[in-house]
Structure 1
Amino acid sequence: ELTLRTVELTLRTSELTLRTAELTLRTAELTLRTSELTLRTVELTLRTSELTLRTVELTLRTSELTLSTAELTLRTAGFTLRTVELTLRTAELTLRTAELTLRTAELTLRTVELTLRTSELTLRTVELTLRTSELTLRTAELTLRTAGFTFRTVELTLRTAELTLRTAELTLRTAELTLRTVELTPQWDHHSPFPNISSLPFPPF
C-alpha cells in the first residue's frame, strides 16, 4: 500500500509538473502573440506616419505648384481662366483625395476592430481550452482514485475469501478429529461393568 501511495504521489507530482510546463508554454505563447501584435501595431503606426509624411510632401509640392501657378497667373493674365479651371480641377482632386483618405481611415479602423475581436475570440478559446484541460485532469484524478479504491476492495474481498477458506479448513479438520475421537471411544456393554472388547479399535490381549 505504501508503494502504491508513493506511485500515486509520484504520478500526481508528474501531473502537476506537466501542468506547470503547459501553463508556462501557454504563457510564453501569449507573450509572443502580444509582442507580435505590438510589433504589428508599431508597423502600422510607422506606415501611417510614412503616409502622413508623403501626404505632407505632396501638399508642399502642391503648394509649390500653386505658387508657381500664381506666379504664372500674374505673368500671364490671358491664361487666368484656364488657371481657374485647373484650380477647380485640383480642388476636386483634393476633395477626392480627402474622401479616399477618410475611407482608408475608416477601413483601417474596421481592420483594427476586427483584429481586436479576433484576439478576444482567441483569448476566449484559450480560456475554454484551459478549463477543458482542467476538467479532464480532474476526471483523470477521480478515475485514478476510483481505481485505487476498487483495487483495495478487491484485496479485502480476496483476504475475506482466504479467511473463509481457512475457517472451512479448520471446520473440516475439527470434524475429522471429532469423528476420529468418536471412533476411538469404546462402546460400553450395559450388562457388564467392563467395556466390550470387540468394540475396541485395537485387538485384545
Structure 2
Amino acid sequence: MAAVHRRVRRNRRYRRALPIPRVFRDRLDPLGYSDEELFERYRFRRPTIIHLHEEIREGLERDTKRNMALSPILSLLLCLRFLATGANHLLIGDSLHISRNAAGRKIRAVSSMIVRAFRNVIVFPLGDMAHKVMEGFRKIAGFPQVLGCVDGTFIKIKMPSENEADFVNRKGYHSLNVQVYIEDYYWEILATPAPDTS
C-alpha cells in the first residue's frame, strides 16, 4: 500500500512540474475585411488607413520581448474603431482580446501620434499673423482674441453612382459632411470625407 501512495505522490509532483501551455488568442486580420466592411467598422477607406499607418508606424513600434505585443496596424485600428463608434475602452479592447487599460493606453498613444504626424498640415496663425487675424475678427464682429472659427455642415449633392449608401446623411439625403476653418479673410476646408461621417 505504501508503494501505491508513493507512486501517486510522485505522479502528482510530476503533473505539477509540467508547464501549463499558454493559450494565445488569434487576433483577426482586420484588413482582411471587404472595403465596405472595413469602412463600416472604422469609418475610413483602406487607402486612408494604410496612409495613416505609414505616417505613424515608426512612433508605435516597440522593441519588446513580449510574445503577443499589439502591432502598430492593430493599434491604429483599435483607435479608429474607438473614434468611429464612441464605445468605451472595455468594448473596444474586447474586439481585439486586450484589457480595458491596454486599450486606453493604445488609444492615447495612437491619438498623440496622429496629432504629431499631421501637426504640419493643420496650423493656426502665429506671431504677427495671429495678431492680424485677431484684429480682423475684432473689426468684423467685435470678437476679441479669436484666431479662427471651425464649423461643419452638410453640402447637398446629387446621388453618386458608386457607394451611394455611404453618402446618405442622418437626415436622409445625399451629402458631403464638410468641416471648414474660417479666418477673418479666407476659408480653408479642413476635411471633406467621401461619405457622411455622422
| Fold-level similarity (TM above 0.5) | no
TM-score scaled to structure 1, two decimals? 0.23
Higher relative contact order (CA 8 A, sep 6+): 2
Give the number of the structure whose residues are more often strand, by fraction. 2
Give the number of the structure whose residues are more often helix, by fraction. 1
